Amino acid sequence: MASGIFALLDDIAALMDDVVVMSKIATKKTAGILGDDLAVNAEKASGFVSSREIPVLWAITKGSFLNKLIILPLAFLLSYFIPWLITVVLILGAIYLAYEGAEKIYEYVVPHEHAITTIEATILSEEEVLTLEKGKIKVAIITDFILSVEIVIIALGSVLGKPISTQIMVVTFVAVLATVGVYGIVAAIVRMDDLGIRLTAHKSKTSKLIGNGLIQLLPIVIKSLAFIGTIALILVAGGIFMHNIEPLHHLLQNLPSIVGEIIAGLVGGIIALVVVKGFKKIFGKKNDAVENLDTINKG
């Protein structure tokens, strides 16, 4: 009896040791996309009235946890019944990440017109403010859903072949860590300027200096996160391509890993960007032709 209990405890210890090791690997693989997740959410959570920033961020955080509750069971079912589909979804996710990274680089390098939206300075009622908040929260939660799918699939891809119990514990740990970590940091970032304003109100020159520094630092931090997130997207996508597409792996295996990942990610992103823009151009012309035909018929 005692030997059976000790054997069970030994099995549990071995399982937990395996979970810890695999959690480290999965966290490392998803770390790249967390930079983009952090940049996106910091941008989505900013721009609200100071007193509403934390309530809005909390609403987005709850939505993020709900997203994980939907995504995780579906991912585990796929892994258990159709494991090969995880690799397919992983590569499709990598194409999306590469496209997103390439599009950001394209928008930065190639000059193009941006749509400018002007907002009249009107006094909104409390009901209108809440309606506006709900709309922004909804958009932020949808964006989080897409990023959460990517994080979960990448984490799951790192533990394929392991027992389903290990997969569940590792991926759930990474998903919860991602939510708590990202939104905790976002909360600190969006409150940075408020802390700065409070410090500038003090009589101490040091406090005023630090306060002004925090206020000026906020937009720099958000822009820096956006830049780091873009590079991370390319690297994460390139790593997935190299590890799951055999010919590409053999072609780039002699290069330093980071160089190979950047090349694979950039090439994949450029191809995806060209294809998407080509489709937009073709369907855009078709829509214009339909509109012109409708105009002629009406005339």
Task: Give the number of other CB atoms < 10 A from CB of residue 202.
Answer: 12
Position 57 pLDDT exceeds 70:
yes
Burial class (CB in 10 A: 0-12, 13-18, 19+), 165: exposed
108 band by pLDDT with thresholds 50, 70 and 90 = confident
Segment of 22-36, 58-72, 118-132 carrying the highest mean pLDDT: 58-72
What span, in angstroms and rounded, lies between the C-alpha atoms of 280 and 266?
21
pLDDT computed for residue 39 by the predictor:
64
pLDDT computed for residue 269 by the predictor:
93
42 band by pLDDT with thresholds 50, 70 and 90 = low
Burial class (CB in 10 A: 0-12, 13-18, 19+), 111: exposed
From the list 258, 206, 217, 205, the residue with the least C-alpha distance to 236 is 258
Helix or strand run (H / E) with residue 220 = helix 205-244
What span, in angstroms and rounded, lies between the C-alpha atoms of 52 and 16?
41
pLDDT computed for residue 121 by the predictor:
40
Q: What percent of the chain has pLDDT over 70?
A: 71
Q: What is the mean pLDDT of residues 91-97?
A: 86
Position 67 pLDDT exceeds 80:
yes
pLDDT computed for residue 116 by the predictor:
40
What span, in angstroms and rounded, lies between the C-alpha atoms of 264 and 235?
8
Extents of the domains making up the chain: 9-298
Side-chain-side CA neighbours of residue 45 (13 Å): 31
Instruction: Tell me the three state secondary structure of residue 256.
Output: coil
Give the predicted TM-score (pTM) of the model.
0.69
